[in-house]
Chains A and B, each alone.
Chain A
Amino acid sequence: MSVELDVFVGNTTIMDEEVYQFWLDGYTVNDAVKVRMEGGVLEEYEASTDVLLSDTMDQFRTFQMCERLLHTPAKLANQLLFQIPPHRQTMLIERYYAFDNAFVREVLGKKLSKGTKKDLDDISAKTGITLKSCRRQFDNFKRVFKVVEELKGPLVENIQQHFLLSDKLARDYAAIVFFANNRFETGKRKLQFLSFQDFAFCAGQLISNWTVGAVDNMVEDMDVDLDKEFLQDLKDLKILINDKDLLDQHKSLVCTALRGKTKVFNEMEANFKTLSRALVNIAAKLTNTKDVRDLFIDLVEKFIEPCRSDRWTSADVRLFLTYYTNSARTLDTFRHQVTWDRYMDVIKSCILKMYHD
């Protein structure tokens, strides 16, 4: 004896947010039922396991049917199949496009290709996120990437417009697209301490300052590709380390300003040239795509790690970078203030964001 068929369809589609989350997380129906039972819904409503099973199956089916629509969220608003109140629609979309930080850290900066998709098994095993959920998240990234890839206009706005996401989530997706496009290395062991939010912040900085869109806002890929001219200009900054006078002058300016203001003054003074060389070299190398990919690993290896080994606090880093940036402007023979500022503003905020344990 068995229930062969069991459906429930409401004129307004009934959805339980908790069950939706189980579905998104890739639970099987039975697992979801188990968790729900432990959650105590049963006692409240004296429902039997059968009731819970039937309810869960029903909702999973509904979500599955909605999934096609969620791939193009704009359709959800003017489709006729499901009558879903607007606030529910927003919830469905937002949750569907939400992702796990653990997962996104694994694929951030990787090419969103079939090859990566094959690795999802490993990622699933590593992060403990179900393969189904991994696939959903990966497909979301890929879908957003494909749609906005060839669009004109600001990246975040495009994402928001096409996927009806909240501002915060749209920014995160912009970061993911940006990282995937430029293939920034984020997977190295040394970068493991950085969270997705750290990278997302950096991506935001890069997008608003270093891309083509920062100068011209009507070109294709404006927020995805870095401004080539700017990268070329960065080579000019080399003068700061190649010109011995300039380097000394810069150092003395910074040291004068910082004396007595920081506990790590001596270490700073000793390392000034190394650090300055590191930052300027990073800038100068950015014309190479390979070196662009290594931007974050370079920042960590060449700047963050030395500072950390000298036990600088973030306040110390902030102080140093502020004066380091500002005093370069006062150098008489330094002619590249604009490029310098455009470079250093981003580097400074990125390093500050990344400077933690």
Chain B
Amino acid sequence: MPGKLKAKIVAGRHLPVMDRASDLTDAFVEVKFGNTTFKTDVCPKSLNPQWNSEWFKFEVDDEDLQDEPLQITVLDHDTYSANDAIGKVYIDIDPLLSCEAATVISGWFPIYDTIHGIRGEINVLVKVDLFNDLNRFRQSSCGVKFFCTTSIPKCYRVVMVHGFVEELVVNEDPEYQWIDRIRTPRASNEARQRLISLMSGELQRKIGLKVLEMGGNAVLGYLQCFDLEGESGLVVRAIGTACTLDKLSSLPTAVLPACNSPSREMKEPPFSEDPNPNIHSSGPSTPLKNQTYSFSPSKSYSRQSSSSDTDLSLTPKTGMGSGGSAGKDGGPLKTLLRQQTQSALEQREFPFFTLTCFPPGFLIHVGGVVSARSVKLLDRIHNPALGNTRSYKLLDWNSFTADEPETRDAWWEEIRQEIKSHAKALGCHAVVGYSESTSICEEVCILSASGTAAILNPKFMQEGCLDSYSEHSRLEDPAPPSCGFCHIPYDELNMPFPAHLTYCYNCRRQKVPDVLFTTIDLPVEATVMGKGSLIQARLCRLKKKAQGEVNATAISNLLPFMEYELHTQLMNKLKLRSMNALFGLRVQISVGENMLVGLASATGVYLMALPAPGGIQIAGKTPSDITYEQHISNMQKKINDTISKNKDLYEVHPQEIIEEVIGSPIPESRQRSRLFRSHSESSDEVSELDLSHGKKDAFVLEIDDTDAVEDIHSLLTDAPMPSGFYSCNTEIMPGIYNWTSSLQMFTSVRVFRLNNVNLTNQGLNKIFNDLCENLLKSLYFKLRSMVPCCLCHLNFAVAVPEEELIQVAVTAVAMTFDKEQAQENFKANMEKAIMKVISENEEQLQFPLELCTETPAPQPFSPSKGTGHQDGGGIHTSARATSVDYSSFADRCSTWIELIKLKAQAIRRGSIKTTASQEKGSPLPEGRSRSLRCMRPFPSSTVSVVKMTPLSFLPGTRIIKYLGIINMFFIRETTSLREEGGVSGFLHCFIAEVFAMVRAHVAALGGNAVVSYSMKECVFMENPNKNQAQCLINVSGDAVIFVRESEAEATAAAPQTSSMQNLSGAAEANA
């Protein structure tokens, strides 16, 4: 009985006219939660009703609180006939369940109807009172914080990264053939919206349980996806990275509502932020804590079914990275360290991390991209529990390949195993920047997963056998940290694939590959030359229409060729820009009835640590003809021109070209592929495709047939960006540091109809390529007023919704920056240097302090061990933004002192947060709170501005609070497509409505921005003959409160700023 949900309906406005006779509406509201419904009075004859209802109270399980949304339905009262529904509002109350997020939801929500869209607004107040749940077998996981952000949230530090969490739930889709069903589309769409809302609530709760089990208190990089499998059902699945977070700023947070902490027998989140001191057993709390930090064995949170066999496949440890590479890796100590880490990570079923940004020092080495795809046939759900609104994943799923029940879980399990083994082959023990996706067409489904193999710093994993922190730090970073992650993790003598290695161009001590592909963001510590650039490889492949197994086989046969070609395109385009590394690589392969579409996007950069790329050579295979040779030399000239133009454009001017690159015009055949992938048609067979066996070198393009000519042609037809524009698909644009605060998030969707039935692969490629290029051109044109600006996080999603349609959806943010780069570059470097000094100082400082607090504790390490690093961790996204967060040494000392105080008080069971900030007397928290206060009251008359961005930060601002995750799902349908302005008019309106609803929910939580926003799903279907269309959109993000950096600085205390100035002054003097 652990929660009381209270809702109050205040007023409505801009309601639609429901009564034609009077041009007015008699509105009332139904408030529903679970099975309980309350009604307001009817407010007669008003389009702006004032209900001012009493508080409706629902007494519910916290399990339900997590699963169910609050449903508000606005209706028009009709005396003689049935009441007409005006529309609905679903409110996810999850943000209220976490103790430090929002405390109240209050604001105007758009009233939404699946047919009419937004119809007026309703003002609602929602609160939750949580009681303590001491039940150790409870099913709820209130209080676990969810973040879409794939980096460490700005106002937190990570105490410990626990690792991968995943879960999926399945159900019958209430409507899989929306047009043919008997019941009204509206009814089934509403049922669908409600169901998905429920399922994602349930999914979050289950993930939360796993996190608690692991001892964490938060999920970072939470990625939730829907698979609309049509007849076989609906799958909602999510992955994330479980962490233990600690709040950084000492903002006097509002008094925390009573919130369940995990029962005491279980591991308890180690933070003092736990608001329920009375739950702690008094006495020695430390030994209990010990458990938390020790790494939980994989079994405890892995799923029952397949974990047993997976373990089998994992047990043979290859001992990769020890042995031969030891000498080069910087001494036996390091090897030891690595083994330790490795074993720590190998204990886990899946050492995967959905994060893409890491604190400096977290990544030790990066191996390269690992990916796996698998083609599956969906079969009708064999579901004994049909009709049950909540069915669970342990249902019997019949797969076509095997007689034994195969669940979706097992499918993913299999793919993850494959990824893991690829990572291992690269000598890596972990996969970072991990993501999963599906593409479904009829009954065929392609499951894909990809990530970046890496070796991580064990500090963050808190393995029990790490004896001493100080020893550890002595070991650390024999090489300059800026290039460490580029060094190869695998053994040089026993390379997993032929690669060309050179000594690192930065430290000259260790080997680096000549090209590096990754799915993560550029690490902060990396030094790059010039700017980055969006690089895309686009490809279409025709396929015969087929059914069932034949179809699946055809697709799996095509996949390797597509991957190979995409890879070649990426490589060529990279060379064309004189760059040597790709970040944020995302390869999408979408399946349609008669074609496959592949799109690979990444951000190319020139990493200083890697060798300069050579040019591109064209070689004719049959050099007999003079005109032919002339043609080739023309082509060569064009390519060379493009390369030199690009060098200027991206300011990439490698100074030293050493080694053999000069010597041989046509380098010896070698393939620098880091792409390791495979695809499998069924579970038992894993066929690996090593791209290195490709016959052609990435440098040499042989023109032996028309295909190759086309290829080269398409290589050169990538239109240059208009001046003043840059683009990338990562969080930040390498080479741009001085963002100004103006930004514009946008979504653009295009659907292209191929009317010509007799298309060749080439023709199709060209169309698809033009489609993407034109879309980009349109974006540049639209945003021309923002120049100079950069399109960041350009996220393309392709789909083949129908036989002759290709759909491309783009979400990105345009951000302006200052032109004065040169100076800024210098400054940014300075800042980095300063930061480094600071963090060193801090680390030194930290140990004695640690010791004095921790001495009574028997265990050798404490949860806060990782924090020294973590502190610096927030910087990664924006070097600029860091200057404030990490500028002052004093600030950090105070944070430390505070933390210690907090700990002390946690033992004394005092009320933690508030006392701490009161005692401290540090000017900082006051300053912050003031700035918080002064920004909170929004102008009441107008709608408050809510910024949205797919990035994890807003330039020129500081995020001071995360209010909770936004995860919304909407369906919109129409039966009057032409009247609503055709498909474009319909979708335009719908997207605008989705934005509006996201903004309204954020504003109601008290926030003023959404970060890490993404549109996960945009499924558009039309039937122009019937004048009908339907669209599903799923969006997510993190609701936050930010303050302008200038405000924050102004309110911050003077001494701190001056100390910062001193520091930077000193650094300048040194320089």
Contact = CB atoms under 8 A, between A and B. Distances in A.
Interface string A1-34: 1111111111110100000000000000000000
Interface string A49-91: 0111011011001101100000000010111111101100000
Contact of A8 (B753, B754, B777, B778): B778
Given A4-B753, A77-B942, A86-B942, A51 B781 contact: yes
Interface stretch (A40-48, A145-153, A208-216): A40-48
Nearest to A82: B992
A55 B775 CA distance: 11
Interface string B757-779: 00000000001000000100111
Interface stretch (B649-657, B660-668, B740-748): B740-748
B984 A7 contact: yes
Given A47-B781, A54-B778, A81 B993 contact: yes
Contact of B752 (A2, A54, A75): A2
Interface string B932-944: 0000000001110
A16 B981 CA distance: 21
Nearest to A5: B751
B768 to A, nearest CB: 11
Given A9-B988, A10-B746, A55-B778, A1 B754 contact: yes
B1057 to A, nearest CB: 31
Contacts of A14: 744, 746, 782-783
Q: Which of B748, B947, B1020 has the most CB of A within 10 A?
A: B748
A64 B983 contact: no
A10 B996 CA distance: 11
Nearest to A52: B781
B750 interface: yes
Given A4-B805, A47-B777, A48-B777, A78 B941 contact: yes
B592 to A, nearest CB: 15
B995 interface: yes
Nearest to B771: A3
Contacts, number: 137
Contact of A50 (B774, B779, B1000): B774
Given A54-B778, A80-B121, A81-B992, A5 B984 contact: yes
Nearest to B991: A9
Q: How large is the interface on A (under 10, 10 to 19, 20 to 34, 35 or more residues)?
A: 35 or more
Nearest to B783: A14
Contacts of A82: 992, 996
A80 B778 CA distance: 26
A75 B14 contact: yes
Interface in B95-121: 108, 110, 118, 121
B943 A65 contact: no
Interface in A272-308: none
A62 to B, nearest CB: 7
A61 B987 contact: no
Contact of B767 (A1, A61, A85): A1
Nearest to B1024: A4
A42 B945 CA distance: 33
Contact of B988 (A4, A61, A80): A61
A7 B987 contact: yes
A22 to B, nearest CB: 16
B987 A5 contact: yes
A74 to B, nearest CB: 10
A47 to B, nearest CB: 5
A58 B774 contact: no
B943 A79 contact: yes
A64 B981 CA distance: 10
A51 B722 contact: no
A8 B946 contact: no
Residues of B contacting A: mostly: mixed
B752 A3 contact: yes
Nearest to B747: A9
A83 B945 contact: yes
A51 B941 CA distance: 38
A239 B752 CA distance: 83
B941 A77 contact: yes
Contacts of B739: none
B751 A51 contact: no
A272 to B, nearest CB: 59
A7 B988 CA distance: 6
Contacts of B778: 8, 47, 50-51, 54-55
Interface string B985-1009: 1011101110111011000000000
Nearest to B780: A45
A16 to B, nearest CB: 8
Contacts of B750: 3, 5-7
Contacts of B184: none
Q: Which of A1, A11, A46, A64 has the most CB of B within 10 A?
A: A11
A58 B981 CA distance: 11
Given A8-B746, A58-B988, A78 B943 contact: yes
A10 B942 CA distance: 20
Contacts of A6: 749-751, 984
B983 A5 contact: yes
B777 A79 contact: no
Contacts of A54: 778
B910 to A, nearest CB: 43
A81 B752 CA distance: 27
Contacts of A45: 722, 780-781, 784
Contacts of A51: 774, 777-778, 781
Given A64-B981, A83-B946, A9 B753 contact: no
B1021 to A, nearest CB: 11
A80 B754 contact: no
Contacts of A44: 784
Nearest to B998: A11
A267 B983 CA distance: 73
B755 interface: yes
Contact of B748 (A7, A62, A79, A81): A7
Contacts of A7: 748-750, 984, 987-988, 991
Nearest to B945: A83
Interface in B891-946: 941-943, 945-946
B753 A1 contact: yes
A45 B724 CA distance: 11
Q: Which of B778, B941, B989 has the most CB of A within 10 A?
A: B778
Given A50-B774, A83-B999, A55 B781 contact: yes
A9 B752 contact: no
Contact of A65 (B753, B784, B941, B989): B989
Given A3-B752, A10-B746, A61-B984, A81 B774 contact: no
Given A61-B984, A83-B943, 20 more contacts: A1-B756, A4-B753, A5-B749, A7-B750, A7-B984, A7-B987, A8-B747, A9-B988, A10-B745, A11-B746, A14-B746, A14-B783, A45-B722, A45-B784, A52-B781, A57-B984, A61-B981, A80-B1000, A83-B945, A86-B942
Interface of A: 1-12, 14, 44-48, 50-52, 54-55, 57-58, 61-62, 64-65, 75, 77-83, 85-86
Interface of B: 13-14, 108, 110, 118, 121, 722, 744-756, 767, 774, 777-784, 805, 807, 941-943, 945-948, 981, 983-985, 987-989, 991-993, 995-997, 999-1000, 1020
Complex A-B, nearest 4 residue pairs according to Cβ-Cβ distance, in ascending order: A5-B751, A9-B991, A10-B746, A11-B745
10 contacts: A1-B767, A2-B755, A5-B750, A5-B987, A6-B984, A7-B750, A7-B984, A78-B941, A78-B942, A83-B996
